[in-house]
Structure 1
Amino acid sequence: MVSTGSTTSLPGLLPELAVIRKDFPILERTLAGGLPLVYLDSANTSQKPQVVIDTMVDHLERHNANIARAMHQLGAESTEAFEAARDKVAAFIGAPERDEVIFTKNASEALNLVANTLAWRGEHQVGEGDEIVITEMEHHSNIVPWQLLAERTGATLRWFGLTDDGRLDLSNAHELINERTAVVAFTWVSNMLGTINPVAELTRRAHAVGARVVVDASQAAPQLPIDLAAMPETDRPDAIAFTGHKVVGPTGIGVLWGRRAFLDALPPFLGGGEMIETVRMEGSTYAGIPHKFEAGTPPIVEAIGLGAAVEYLGHVGMDAIHAHEQAITAYALDGLRSVPGLTVLGPLDATARGGAISFELDGVHPHDIAQVLDSRGVAVRAGHHCAKPAHARFGVQSSTRMSSYLYTEPREIDALVEALEYTRSYFKLG
C-alpha cells in the first residue's frame, strides 16, 4: 500500500481541503462498528455542502410559494429565487444567454427532451435515411433515447467503438460522421471508464456535415471547467445535459442547455401550464424559451438548491477542483496498481480521465467486493453502472467502481487499498 503521510503532500490537492470537508456534514458520520465513512461513490451521487441544505430549508421555511403565478410577496420571492438559480447555472457553464438554460428533473429527461422533439415535425426533424451516431461508452440515458428515436423515425443508429484502453476509436470517424448524419450524441466524460472525450473535435466533425451535437455532461460538469461562450462556434455543441445531484446539488433537478436557435426550432416536449403563450379550443401557441420546455410546476426548491450548489463550486474554483481530481485520480491509480490481480478498465493516465475508476479483481465478484469494502466503511458502487455495452466491450458483466470528488483525501484512497487487500485475504486469494 502507498501512503502520502498527509493530505497536503500531493501536488494539485485543494489547499483548503480540510476546511472544504467540514462543509459536508455527512463526511463526519461514523458507521456501524465505529468505522469512519470513506465515501468513494461521488460519480453515483455527490454529497451536499451545508450551504445547499440550508438554502433549501430556508426557502421552504420562509419563501415557499409557486412561481410565475402567485401574485403576492411569497410568490415574488419564490420566482426571484428560481430565476436567480437559472442565472447561477448559466454562469457556471458559461452559457451565452441565460434563457438557454432549461430546468428538467434530471439529465435523462433533458436527453429525452431532445431525442423526442427531434422525432416531431420541425426544422431539425429526424427521418428515414438519416443517421444517428452515438458511442459504445454511453450511459444508458444517452443510448436508449436515441434507439427509440431511430425506431420511431426509421433513422439508422450507428456508433463509435472503443479501443482496448477505453478511448473512442476514431479511426473510422470520417465514415461514421457523413452527409447522412443528423445527430451525434456522446458523453463528455465516461461514467464507467472515466475517459474524457474530445468534445471540440467531434463537434467540428459533426457541424462540418450539418449534424446536430448533443453532449451528456453529467460527469463533466462536476469536475471540468465549462465555458460554452468561450468555445468557437464550430466547437460548441448544440445542446448539453447534466444533473444536479452530481454537482453537490439535490436530486430531482437537471439542466438542458441548448443554442437559442436550436431550442427555438424544437417543438414543445410537454404540454401544460406556463409553457403557453395563449390557449384556444382550436389550438395553442407557445411561450419562448426557457418556459416552452418547463410545463407545470417545476422543481422549485431543487432548482434553488442547485443554484446554491454551483455557486459553491464556483467559489472553490472549477480549475482547482479539476486539478484536485487529477491528483487524487493519479494517486488512486497508483494505489490500485499495487493490488495483485486488479485490473483497471479505462485509461491509466490520470490527465486523460475523470475521477471514476472501474476495476476487476480476479476471483471475486464485484458485488462481493463492494460488500466487503462496505464492512470496512468504504462506500463504492458495484454493477454495470448503467453502461452495459461498455462492459460487454471488455468482456465483463459488471465491475467495481470507486469515484472521488473535491472532498476526497489521499487517506481515503489508502483505506480503499487496505480494504481491497483485506478482500483478497478474506477470499483467500494467492
Structure 2
Amino acid sequence: PRLVGTGFEDYIGEAWNLRLVSNLHAGVTIREPHAEDARHTCYRWHIQDPITFKKSLKVELERRSFITVKDPETGEAVRGDFKYRPDLCSSVAYWYQRTVATSTTPFPTVEERLPPEIWVVPRDMVASEMKDGKSPLKTSPGLNPINKNNKMGWVHFARRIFHAENDKVGAWFEVPFKVSAEGRYSISVFQILFREYGIWKLTLLGPDTEKVLAERLDFWNPYITRLEYTPEASIYGTNHEAKVGICDLKPGDYVFRFECIGSHPLSFNERTGTNGLGIGIDGISLRKLPWGDMHAWYKDYLVREKAHNEKQATEARRVVAELDKAIKAYKKDLGHYPEALEALLERPAELNMSSGTRIGHWPYFKGGRIPLDPWGQRYRYAAPGRYNPDSFDVWSVRGESRQLDRWIGNWDAAE
C-alpha cells in the first residue's frame, strides 16, 4: 500500500493537524509545536482492517507538506506549499506470521538510525566523580554542586542527577563541553523540576558565540499540585525536557553558563524558610540536525524541484500519449471505448471470436500493467470525457488533484 498526497494525519485518525491523542488503533504520543527541530511519534494498528501479504510487504508514505524557513537577512518567513521535505523519519512494523521471522540483512546500529548527539552530563563533572578530585565545573563562591541519588536521573539510566543547593540570586556555574563536528544543533536541557528550585538564565559561550538560550528557565515543579503525580513529584521532582534553541556550532570548546536570577513565588526551601533558588539537571543534549542552513537548502531545493518536476511532467505526458493511442486502437478494433484502462491489457473476447483474418491492433498497451504516474498515483480515465465530451479523457492529476489546471491529460494535445 502507499499513501500519496496530503492526508497522513487522516491515516492516524486526525484531520488538518496532529494532536496529542491515544486511541485503541491510532494515536499521537509525541507532538511538538511546528519548528525546524519538531518531533512527532504516531502509531496505527491494522487490527480491524488488516493488510495481508504472502511474501513481502512494502509501505510507502509521500513526504510532502508545507515548509517554512526564515530568511536570515530579512528575518521574514518564506513558506512553500506541498514541498518535498528533508524530514528525518524512522518506523517500526509488527506483523503476524506462522513461522519464525528471519532477517536477510543486518539490523542497522543506533548510530546509523539516529542523528549524532552530544550529551553533556554535569553530575559526572562534580569533584567527587573526578579521579583527581578536581572538577572542570566553574562555580561562584559558596556553590558546591553534587551528584545526587534521584530516580528521575534518566540519562544513561544512572538514577542520579546534578544538584546544587543555592541561597543567593546571582550565583552561577559553568559546564564545559566540546563540539567536534561543525553543524546545526538542537539544544535541550533535561531539567529536574522540584518544589524548592529557582529560576536560572542560560547562556552559551564558545568560539565566536555568546548567545542567551533562555532568559528565564524555571526549575520549580508545577506538577506537585496534580494528584496523578503524587507522591513522586514531591519526593523526586519531575524530569522535563526544555528545548532552548537551535545553534550553528563550529568545532571547539564551549560552556553552558547557568546564573540564578530569582525564584518562582510558590517555590519554598524548608531549610532556609525562603523561596527556593536551587537547581537540578539530568543532562543537556545537543542533537545534530541532518541539514545545515535551512534557507540556503530551500533556495537550492527550488532549483532542483523545478528540474525534477519537469522530468516528471515529461514522463507523464509520454505515458498519457501512449494510453491515448492504445484507447483509440481499442476503439478502432471493437467499435467502443474500454470500460477501464485495465481492459487494454487483456485480449478482448471479440477478437478471439472474429475471423482469422481480423487480428486487430492487439496488444494495445505493452508492459503487462498500467504504470503509476511519476507521483505514485494511478492514471485516470473517463469516457465520455469532461474535456473531450465526444470521445474520452485520460490524465494524471500530477500529484495535486485539487489543482485541475495542472493536470496532464490528452486534452492538451487536442487543444
Based on CA coordinates, which of the two structures has the bigger radius of gyration?
2
Which is richer in strand? 2
Task: Tell whether the structures are fold-level matches, with TM greater than 0.5.
Answer: no
The TM-score range, normalised by the shorter chain, is: under 0.3
TM-score (norm 1): 0.22
